Amino acid sequence: MKVENVPAYILHSRPFKDSSALLECLTPEHGLVTLVAKGAKRPRSRMQGILQPFILIHIGWVGKSELKTLTHVETQSMSPTLMGQKILLGLYLNEVLMRLLQHLDPHPQLFDDYDNTLRVIATTQSIIEHEFALRQFELKLMAELGYGIDLTIDAKTGESVAPELLYAYDPQVGLIEMSHVSTATVVVSGASIIALHQGQCTNEHQLREVKKLMRYVLSLHLGNKPIESRKLFQVKRPETS
């Protein structure tokens, strides 16, 4: 099977044999693809400066098995890149994608969401904007994988979420106003839920609440293995990701 001219982002790269690299690439029409980049680690290889995370590239490959061989790579027009601590945010996105996506399972909209999230992080300076962009991406990722959350109604009564009330999240049912539950693992204000739904987080309190909600939702699908990139946040900057 030969594939040509596919837009892609490299989520992870590691050495393979003597001079090659093993790449995990996110593509719109093929999903997560594993590629061998032969000779990529040679000192004079032109691929060394191209095969990096957070750079939009076009690639080609051949192969019938799950492990493909990279045949072509080129960069696209210049786009904003992640610098400094923003790289940590990108590493978090990449790790979550690799943990939750199945290989060769396409999600074209998710590719666009990832691209847009990187651009928001790259072109803004506010920590609130950065972290809320992560929460928005997590929400879209869950929906793409079939675990979407209805942020508009109380799952028990069918009434619209009210900003002045508190809600518990039940993974089997959805959001339920606190007066209708006896115990709750996660409790979030209606105002923060509405902010997440509308994509307009305005303060740090809302940011903390939606982070608590989305971290719990993700944990249901990530299992017990911790997110490795979070260790970097603990060293570099507390309360991120």
CATH of the domain at 130: 1.20.1440.120
213 plus 123 within the same structural domain = yes
Q: Does residue 57 sit in the same domain as residue 96?
A: no
**Residue 69 shares a structural domain with residue 90:** no
pLDDT of 228: 84
Question: Among residues of the chain, what percentage have pLDDT more than 70?
Answer: 94
- Mean pLDDT for 196-214 is 93
Please tell me the predicted confidence (pLDDT) of residue 155.
Answer: 97
pLDDT at position 78 over 70: no
Question: 């942020």: which residue's tokens?
Answer: 151
Same structural domain for residues 34 and 130? no
Tell me if the pTM is above 0.85.
yes
What is the mean predicted confidence (pLDDT) over 30-51?
91
Residue 103 shares a structural domain with residue 40? no
Nearest alpha-carbon partner for 145 in 101, 95, 90, 94: 101
Unique residue bearing structure tokens 């049912």: 173
Task: For residue range 151-165, list pLDDT tens digits in order.
Answer: 999 999 999 999 999
How far apart (Å, rounded) are the C-alpha atoms in residues 52 and 91? 12
Q: Is residue 120 part of a domain?
A: yes
CA distances to 25, 46, 47, 67, 70 from 38, in Å: 15, 12, 10, 13, 7
Residues 100-111, mean pLDDT to the nearest whole number: 96
Give the number of domains in the chain: 2
4-27 in b/e form (b: 16+ CB < 10 A) is: eebbbbbbbbeebeeebbbbbbbb
Residue 232: pLDDT band by 50, 70, 90 thresholds? low
Q: Which of 30, 55, 75 is at the close of a domain?
A: 75
Averaged pLDDT, 175-191:
94
Sheet of 187-189: strand order equals 174-177, 166-170, 187-189
- In this structure, the answer to whether residues 112 and 229 fall within a common structural domain is yes
Residues 10 and 101 in one domain: no
Confidence band (pLDDT; 50, 70, 90) for 80? confident
Report yes or no on 110 lying in a domain: yes
Whether residues 202 and 117 share a domain: the answer is: yes
In a domain, 51, yes or no: yes
The count of residues in the chain is 241
Shared domain check, 96 and 164: yes
Where among 50, 75, 100 does a domain terminate? 75
The reply to whether 126 and 190 lie within a common domain is: yes
Q: Are residues 169 and 230 in the same domain?
A: yes
Same domain, 41 and 130: no
Domain that holds residue 60: 2-75
Final residue belonging to a domain, choices 75, 97, 118: 75
